[in-house]
Structure 1
Amino acid sequence: MIRGLLLSLLLLSPFVAVADTLRVATWTVELSRKGPGLLLRDILKGDDPQVLAAQAHIRALSPDILLLTGFDTDLDGHTLAAFAQALDYPHLFTRPGNSGRPTGRDLDKDGRPGEPEDAQSFGAFTGQGGVVLLSRLPVMEEEIRDFSELLWRDLPGANLPEGYFDEKDLDVLRLSSHAHWDIPVLWQGRPLHLLAYAAIAPVFDGPEDRNGRRNSDETRFWSLYLDGALEAGSPAAPFVILGDSNLDPKDGDGDRAQMQALLADPRLIDPLPAADHGADIANPGQIGDPRLDTADWSDPVPGNLRVDYVLPSVGLRVVDAGLAWGAGQGEIVFRHALVWVDLAAIP
């Protein structure tokens, strides 16, 4: 197993203790480039408009815990460390994850193995569009659980496309298109478990629906984990599920019933983070509340969807929640909103 990266940065300003209210956020930032090291290059230049706009948006919202998805990672964490230099986060965590990781198999069955489509999930290099955590709370590194190597077929009740993958495919194909992590951070003297993930888009496949089925199982994983149905047992409360499910409960492609089931789980709170607009971004024919949409994609298909979530466990008290769309400058457009939830201190 690849060892994770945990960085404790020495900042120029003294570390300020987190207030009683904790802001937990996720953002599909889409800071990705076409080759390894290119995002690091752009960050180090110091003048990349997309990087600067992303950093400014994070500073404006100032979450205490921030999970970024769609962020290029590297084995030693240099890209994340460089990005965080302009921000106030003394604790960083990432692992390269599964996107772009070679499988040695022809997973799209086009007769040409070794293409980006044949990786664990689409990617030109390992860690492309990956997942990173920035935190003002200490990360309990020794207690982290990483489920990213779990084979898809080993998930209880795996919804594999019948007859599509052969046995050698299934010997290597992982459930996680990017990552599934249980990351405890220390808050008010006790662990708060961050159940973090980013799922594959339930499109770009064929009638076998391999991406749709995998997307559904990536979200169903959390229900199984909470049930204690996995060998690792269940997470200790309190916890927060956060990340990009690529799955709207009411609109768009994918197994919407699976997202509905997670949102209705009595062990979770859906804070319903909303933006202060709605009708002006609504897509004709959609039934979901447009104020809750977190992604602004091409109209009319797929249109705007709710795919990014921060879901605290019951027992935590939600003080406030919302969506923050990054305006950017000029041609810089962020297609996802930053989703944030403020939690009260644990009694």
Structure 2
Amino acid sequence: MATKKKTAKTFFDYHPDFPRDKSHLVQLCLPREKMNNKKTPQFPLMYSEKLDGVFCFAVCDTTSVHIFSRTGEEYLSLEHLKPELYDISQALCTDVIIFEGYAKGVPQPTTSGWCRDQKAQQYAVGAYVHDALSLDEFWGTCKVRPYAERYAALDTLDVWSYHAFLVPQYFADTWSDIDKAAERIWKMGGEGLVVRDPNAGYFPGKRNETMIKVKKGVSYDLKVLALNEGTGKYKGMLGSLVCKFRGGKEVIVGSGLTDVQRTRWWSPFFYDEIVGKIVQIDAMAESTKGLLREPRFKGVRHDKAEGDF
């Protein structure tokens, strides 16, 4: 599979008749704090470590592999992953491989930038695979196999090699088991867990109780409405982001920004790199007034077009 220079397209350029738009292309994780307890699936549940990388999916056929973001933008910097993804596809006789683009020890915003690079190849990014579907299952034209069955098929393969890895899945019988597993991950500096209903199909464009993310504190993807100038040592630089929150409220976020970001984004030449964009904001908890306690900027979500509110 020779590498050649090309222009990025979208998933919809390759599949113009696809029945969903980019906001409903793939299934997304529901934050645990948003769970409806009446809809919680029955134990045992499956769980895996939530890697702090970039959501990707590959569409494979007999002659090509294309890698996309969650909203369908094509990634051109991950050519080194394609031979191994192709082998997985052929071994499973399937078409769509869902994985995390991840590089150990590398901050998520850096990995995100690497995936979006249209000039250079980013060989440090690996494919950490957690699901695989037929194109009919992904398209929605047939019944989707339960997640446990899809994962079991991946687990039988011996094609995992230098750039492609299977994300380990475990079973839990209680929420106490899940909480203990999450604590172990947090102590090692990890993000948290993804909890799945092993009997569930696939729900593109949905956030529901069949796939739940468990993170320390709370995390939201919010739209940046405006910028505030800093004070003191940040005078003449970006001081904080004004983000849209629930119920029309605004969250002011000043932590987590680097000096480079503060200088660049306060400039009128680079203002639009952040205003109007979707950013991940982590916080300790929601306050009694319905805002966020100790909000912290985590990174720009270049793979999302809409915020949580």
TM over 0.5: same fold?
A: no
Task: Identify the structure with bigger relative contact order (alpha carbons < 8 Å, sequence gap 6+).
Answer: 2
Larger Rg: 2
Q: Which has the higher helix share?
A: 2
Q: Which has the higher strand share?
A: 2
